[in-house]
């Protein structure tokens, strides 16, 4: 949710970065994942190309319904074995519909993991704006995806609200999921 404060105009105009990040935050709330909620908005200039949030492929299942309380099965690296990341969903939908992705900007509530970074780079997305750090979320020393993208010339910025704007957003996790059988 965007809050505007201390602005001289009666109806201040937020920057498009503020608008698109607010949309990504709201999209994250659509996720059925009980472990993390992430949203993404793929844009070109001032237009939305595609949107996405993390979860299993459309038409399969919803993790919170099929695996209530515990979430879906984990792969050998401890990641969700069934879900697509928000960036993947936004990029795949845009590609499926023939949208021009090269040179686009993607707004995401969690900085890209290394796998998503490779996809972003391969699709020639020019700019990534993220809200929360994947490294902080995973407890790892560096944002590998961010470093990869910067190394290969993609502009990556951590979102900073515009003047007079406050974005109210929770981190992608409410906390670790507790084993209900303990």
Cα 64 to Cα 87: distance, rounded to the nearest angstrom: 20
- Tokens representing 88 are 């993947």
CB 165 within 8 A of CB 144: no
Q: For the chain, first and last CA: distance in Å?
A: 36
- Tokens representing 33 are 């994942």
In the annotation, is 87 catalytic? yes
* Phi (first) and psi of residue 127, to 5 degrees: -145, 140
Cα 39 to Cα 30: distance, rounded to the nearest angstrom: 8
Q: Which of 87, 100, 102, 144 is catalytic?
A: 87
* Residues designated as active site: 87
């Amino acid at each position: 949710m965007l809050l505007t404060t201390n602005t001289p105009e009666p109806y201040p105009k937020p920057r498009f970065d503020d608008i698109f990040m607010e949309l990504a935050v709201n999209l994250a709330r659509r996720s059925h994942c009980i472990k993390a909620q992430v949203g993404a908005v793929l844009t070109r200039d001032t237009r939305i190309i595609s949107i996405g949030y993390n979860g299993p492929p459309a038409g399969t299942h919803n993790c919170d319904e099929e695996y209530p309380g515990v979430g879906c099965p984990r792969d050998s690296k401890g990641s969700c074995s069934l879900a697509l990341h928000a960036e993947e969903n936004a990029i795949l939908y845009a590609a499926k519909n023939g949208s021009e992705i090269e040179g686009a900007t993607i707004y995401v509530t969690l900085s890209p993991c290394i796998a998503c970074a490779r996809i972003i780079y391969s699709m020639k997305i020019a700019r990534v704006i993220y809200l929360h750090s994947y490294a902080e979320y995973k407890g790892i020393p560096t944002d590998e995806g961010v470093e990869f993208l910067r190394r290969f010339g993609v502009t990556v910025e951590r979102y900073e609200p515009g003047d007079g704007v406050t974005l109210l957003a929770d981190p992608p996790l409410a906390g670790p999921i507790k084993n209900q059988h303990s």
